[in-house]
């Protein structure tokens, strides 16, 4: 937002800003924050940074945990949720030293290195990403994990189960207009109960540097929606991803609703993904376009697809880093399970939009990711897989990845056996990353320490969840 400290000070004075809030990223992709009065934010802070405990973020051990973050003025925005006028901005993480040195495990630094790596390759000077954000807007969420009580209760005013005795109506009369399971796609008001809220959220996003392509009701009946944003470069789109989740969650809470980006909050309903569209340009020319190629894709685009498909199992440790992620990736819910590609095929891992026909629109979509991912690491990992494919000319056709222009969910077991599948669990994704990660180390973009930290984190999550009894286990086994 700001190119200089003087620009920042001028804006702060014009908007009566009293507080400056700094957002810092942990490995899992959560924002933490620290705030200072406006008078304490000086040019000296931009030079020397602000100290914090890196061990509390999972970056360092407690006996040597001091780190600093230095705010990035270009990431600043006027926070729409604070009572006192506040400017928020993202901090870059540094190791202690003279001078300070960028911390190699800072996810935002990884994104910067990935951009530099792509630029230095000479293949592209502008790699653009366009994610689609699916999530549920709900009216209540309750959970308990206790010794004698394991339960979750989710509710949505538009859900079919509230067709009678709806607790959200102020009167005794239920007014109807409920959405059946799997029938919410592009539903109109009054069925689309979050439409006005989404308009408010989209306006806030636009006002705070997150351009929105469109928004609509998605397939899941109990309030699933989608916001698709405009394309941007890798680090910028990761910044926008964090900002979108921040604005959507807090905007919903301000209006008495709650939001979850969990990939599979509801049994037998549509899961929420974060499909990622990818484009490349060089000297303003579309690198991925060739009118004579399959679906008008260039060889470079096909090699990029080949690289992503080859490394897709390992990518999952970054793009789908939770146990819940793998409850979404099951047949029958428009979530991919088979490693293949084709035009317009939503059952494949990579889909080429059939309606994107002009050179400037030509792209492909990687469908497995979800919004549980740390966006800086996920987008960077996808970019590194694509670059590996391009540099090593990995042809997805010769590798047997397709194009497969059929419904993969309708294939027989024998037919499905011809194709590799995505990991079925977080443990399988961790094993895949352990076996296949050299492509991430190219150019020093990822480090072995960071990959080790990611593996440690997801393995711990998998182990913790695996030992908790599941309510469905009582249904199946209690009376045996």
218, 269, 290, 388: the active-site residue: 218
Q: Of the residues 72, 139, 343, 365, which is catalytic?
A: 365
Which one of 367, 370, 388, 437 is the catalytic residue?
367
Q: What's the rounded Cα separation, in Å, for the pair 133 and 228?
A: 6
Concerning whether 226 is annotated as a catalytic residue, the answer is yes
Q: Is 146 exposed, middle or buried (0-12, 13-18, 19+ CB in 10 A)?
A: exposed
134 is an active site residue: yes
Catalytic residue among 53, 207, 438, 463: 53
Verify whether residue 275 is a known catalytic residue.
yes
List the one residue out of 162, 346, 365, 184 whose CA is nearest residue 270: 184
Work out the number of other CB atoms within 10 angstroms of the CB of residue 424.
12
Q: Give the tokens for residue 194.
A: 């979050």
Question: In sequence order, which ranges of 136-258 are alpha helices (DSSP H)?
Answer: 195-207, 234-254
- The residue to which tokens 């800072």 are assigned: 106
**How far, in Å, are 461, 464, 480 from residue 467 at the CA level?**
11, 6, 20
CB proximity list for 401: less than 8 A, separation 6 or greater: 305, 306, 309, 339, 340, 341
Catalytic residue chosen out of the listed positions 24, 115, 132, 370? 132
Catalytic site includes residue 367: yes
- Confirm whether 132 is a catalytic residue: yes
Active site residue 169: no
Residue 365 among the catalytic residues:
yes
The per-residue b/e assignment along 205-235, b for 16 or more CB within 10 angstroms, e otherwise, is beebbbebeebbbbbbbbbbbbbbbebbbbb
Catalytic residue among 346, 361, 395, 461: 346
DSSP symbols for 284-332: TEETTB-TTSGGGB-HHHHHHHHHHHHTHHHHHHHHS-STTHHHHSSTT
> Is the dihedral angle over the CA atoms 234, 240, 244, 245 positive or is it negative?
positive
> Which residue of the set 226, 239, 290, 370 is catalytic?
226
Please tell me which residue in 79, 106, 134, 290 is annotated as part of the active site: 134
Residue the block writes with tokens 């780190």? 67
What lies within 8 Å, CB to CB, of 172 at 6+ separation is none
Rounded distance, CA 62 to CA 304, Å? Answer: 41
Active centre residues (catalytic): 53, 132, 134, 218, 226, 275, 346, 365, 367
């Amino acid at each position: 937002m700001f190119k200089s400290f003087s620009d920042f000070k001028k804006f702060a004075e014009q908007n009566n800003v009293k507080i400056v809030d700094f957002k810092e990223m942990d490995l899992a992709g959560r924002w933490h924050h620290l705030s200072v009065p406006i008078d304490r934010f000086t040019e000296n802070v931009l030079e020397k940074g602000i100290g914090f405990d890196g061990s509390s973020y999972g970056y360092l051990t407690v006996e040597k945990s001091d780190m600093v973050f230095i705010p990035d003025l270009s990431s600043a925005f006027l926070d729409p949720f604070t009572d006192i006028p506040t400017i928020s901005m993202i901090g870059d993480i540094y190791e202690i030293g003279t001078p300070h040195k960028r911390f190699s495990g800072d996810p935002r630094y990884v994104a910067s290195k990935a951009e530099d790596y792509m630029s230095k390759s000479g293949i592209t000077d502008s790699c653009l990403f366009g994610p689609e954000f699916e999530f549920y807007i709900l009216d209540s969420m309750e959970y308990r994990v206790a010794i004698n009580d394991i339960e979750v209760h989710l509710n949505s005013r538009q859900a079919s189960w509230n067709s009678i005795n709806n607790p959200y109506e102020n009167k005794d009369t239920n007014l109807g207009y409920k959405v059946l399971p799997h029938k919410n796609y592009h539903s109109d008001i009054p069925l689309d109960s979050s439409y006005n809220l989404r308009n408010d959220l989209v306006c806030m996003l636009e006002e705070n540097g997150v351009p929105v392509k469109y928004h609509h009701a998605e397939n899941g009946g109990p309030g699933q929606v989608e916001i698709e944003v405009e394309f941007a470069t890798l680090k910028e789109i990761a910044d926008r991803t964090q900002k979108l989740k921040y604005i959507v969650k807090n905007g919903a809470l301000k209006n008495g609703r709650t939001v979850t980006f969990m990939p599979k909050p509801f049994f037998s309903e549509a899961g929420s993904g974060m499909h990622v569209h990818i484009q490349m340009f060089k000297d303003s020319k579309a690198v991925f376009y060739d009118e004579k190629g399959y679906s008008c894709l260039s060889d470079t685009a096909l090699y990029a697809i080949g690289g992503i498909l080859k490394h897709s199992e390992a990518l999952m440790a970054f793009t789908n880093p939770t146990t819940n992620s793998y409850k979404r990736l099951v047949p029958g819910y428009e979530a991919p399970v088979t490693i293949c590609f084709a035009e317009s095929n939503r059952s494949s891992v990579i889909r080429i939009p059939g309606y994107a026909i002009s050179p400037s629109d030509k792209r492909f979509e990687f469908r497995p990711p979800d919004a549980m991912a740390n966006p800086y690491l996920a987008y960077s990992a996808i970019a590194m897989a694509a670059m590996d494919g391009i540099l090593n000319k990995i042809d997805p056709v010769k590798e047997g990845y397709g194009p497969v222009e059929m419904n993969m969910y309708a294939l027989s077991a024998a037919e499905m056996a011809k194709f590799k599948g995505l990991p079925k669990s977080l443990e399988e994704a961790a094993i895949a990353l352990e076996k296949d990660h050299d492509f991430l180390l190219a150019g020093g973009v990822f480090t072995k320490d960071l990959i080790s930290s990611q593996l440690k984190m997801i393995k711990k999550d998998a182990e913790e969840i695996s030992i908790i009894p599941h309510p469905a286990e009582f249904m199946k086994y209690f009376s045996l």
